[in-house]
């Protein structure tokens, strides 16, 4: 694995593989790599000739200076993990390479960025994400870029900007990797001390309760959200939001008639966590005549 720090060196490293028809997979990260990131790198390794991992803690997407200052950084460790997972090229630019003096451009994805995380962290968060991801995609020019379903709203924003700006690549979403007890892996989990580690399970418990209500036949989004919130409160955690929305445009759903995203955010001690799940309405349920019974058949309930 080679490490490059400038756009010039990055492009020089890709000058030969691209015309030779080699496919390039990009995995953008902010470092502090864990098995979630590694799963994206492995997916990229399986499907591409060349794997580029970017390592850049993007100051523009932090709404809280303390969060940015506390963000875990250890490039040597990240480089070793990235190399072991099959990375060919590590792009680890300094901030001045990404945001040179006089930098004045923002990519803003309207609508999608104002809800959920945007409502709580401010739209500047997703402006920062959209701008840096657009830059990384144009710097690297990958055939495929890999993102985690863990950050479902980020994924929706990136899909939209790629479509709107006609960027010539495919976005691949990878499933959320979890601890054995269900906690979604996150670079911020290192801040979960003592009882907060146990309470952090509230997010997954809330999603599981929402899923259980759905699988028992509930189709009223408010009732599903209530079931989720109640499960979280049993662990003493109040969600900032627990919302049932459309996975593509993130608009609130009232009655579930297609697949929905259940997205949750909560502060556990000083640490802010997010998680989500998709409730999938099988073809059976979509074609089911009204009043044909609410319980899902056993085959769909697992
Ligand atoms: P980050 O370094 O937090 O910006 O994350 C880099 C990429 O890893 C993003 O596409 C995230 O969605 C993805 N990611 C983060 N946590 C997980 C996880 N637990 N499972 C799968 N992907 C993840």
Give the model confidence (pLDDT) of 255-270 as tens digits: 999 999 999 999 999 9
Does the CB atom of residue 125 touch ligand 1 within 6 A?
no
Q: Is the pTM of this model over 0.85?
A: yes
Does the CB atom of residue 147 touch ligand 1 within 6 A?
yes
Q: Which of 22, 34, 37, 125 is catalytic?
A: 37
Q: How far apart are CA 164 and CA 107, in angstroms?
A: 11
DSSP 8-state code for residue 279? E
Task: Please give the pLDDT value at position 285.
Answer: 54
Give the model confidence (pLDDT) of 126-173 as tens digits: 999 999 999 999 999 999 999 999 999 999 999 999 999 999 999 999
pLDDT band at 6 (very low <50, low <70, confident <90, very high): very high
Residue of higher predicted confidence among 179 and 281: 179
E strands present in the chain: 2-4, 24-29, 50-55, 89-91, 144-148, 170-174, 239-245, 260-268, 271-279
Distance 154 CA to ligand 1 centre (A): 10
Task: Please give the pLDDT value at position 294.
Answer: 42
Q: What is the mean pLDDT of residues 4-10?
A: 98
Burial class (CB in 10 A: 0-12, 13-18, 19+), 251: exposed
Residue 287 pLDDT more than 80? no
Task: Please give the pLDDT value at position 19.
Answer: 85
Give the model confidence (pLDDT) of 60-115 as tens digits: 999 889 989 989 999 999 999 999 999 999 999 999 999 999 999 999 999 999 99
Q: Are 256 and 219 in contact, with CB atoms under 8 Å apart?
A: yes
34 catalytic per annotation: no
Candidates 110, 105, 99, 106; CA nearest to 164 is 110
Residue 290 pLDDT more than 80? no
Candidates 154, 138, 135, 142; CA nearest to 89 is 142
Task: Please give the pLDDT value at position 17.
Answer: 86
pLDDT band at 286 (very low <50, low <70, confident <90, very high): low
pLDDT band at 282 (very low <50, low <70, confident <90, very high): confident
Could you tell me whether strands 239-245 and 89-91 are parallel, antiparallel, or unpaired per DSSP bridges?
A: unpaired
Burial class (CB in 10 A: 0-12, 13-18, 19+), 82: buried
Task: Please give the pLDDT value at position 297.
Answer: 38
Distances (CA, A) of 152 to 4, 291, 294: 29, 33, 28
Average pLDDT, the chain: 93
Does the CB atom of residue 184 touch ligand 1 within 6 A?
yes
């Amino acid at each position: 694995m080679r490490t490059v720090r400038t756009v010039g060196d990055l492009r020089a490293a890709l000058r030969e593989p691209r015309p030779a028809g080699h496919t390039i997979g990009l995995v953008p990260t902010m470092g502090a790599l864990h098995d979630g990131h590694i799963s994206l790198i492995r997916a990229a390794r399986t499907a591409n000739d060349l794997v580029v991992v970017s390592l850049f803690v993007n100051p523009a997407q932090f709404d809280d200076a303390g969060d940015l200052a506390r963000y875990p950084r250890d490039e040597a460790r990240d480089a070793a993990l990235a190399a072991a997972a099959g990375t060919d090229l590590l792009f680890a630019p300094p901030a001045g390479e990404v945001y040179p003096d006089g930098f004045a451009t923002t990519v803003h994805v309207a609508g999608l960025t104002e809800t959920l995380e945007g409502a709580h962290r401010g739209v500047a968060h997703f402006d920062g994400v959209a701008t840096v991801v657009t830059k990384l995609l144009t710097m690297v020019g990958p055939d495929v870029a890999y993102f985690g379903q863990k950050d479902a709203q980020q994924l929706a924003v990136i899909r939209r900007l790629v479509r709107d700006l006609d960027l010539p690549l495919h976005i691949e979403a990878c499933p959320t990797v979890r601890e054995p007890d269900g906690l979604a892996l996150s670079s911020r989990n290192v801040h979960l001390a003592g009882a907060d580690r146990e309470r952090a399970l509230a997010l997954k418990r809330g999603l599981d309760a929402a899923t259980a209500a759905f699988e028992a036949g509930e189709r009223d989004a408010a009732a599903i959200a209530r079931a989720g919130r109640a499960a979280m409160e049993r662990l003493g955690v109040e969600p900032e939001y627990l919302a049932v929305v459309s996975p593509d445009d993130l608009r609130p759903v009232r009655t579930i008639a297609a697949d929905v995203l259940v997205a949750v955010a909560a502060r556990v001690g000083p640490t802010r966590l997010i998680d989500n799940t998709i409730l999938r309405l099988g073809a059976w349920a979509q074609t089911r005549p009204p009043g044909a019974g609410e319980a899902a058949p056993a085959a769909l309930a697992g």
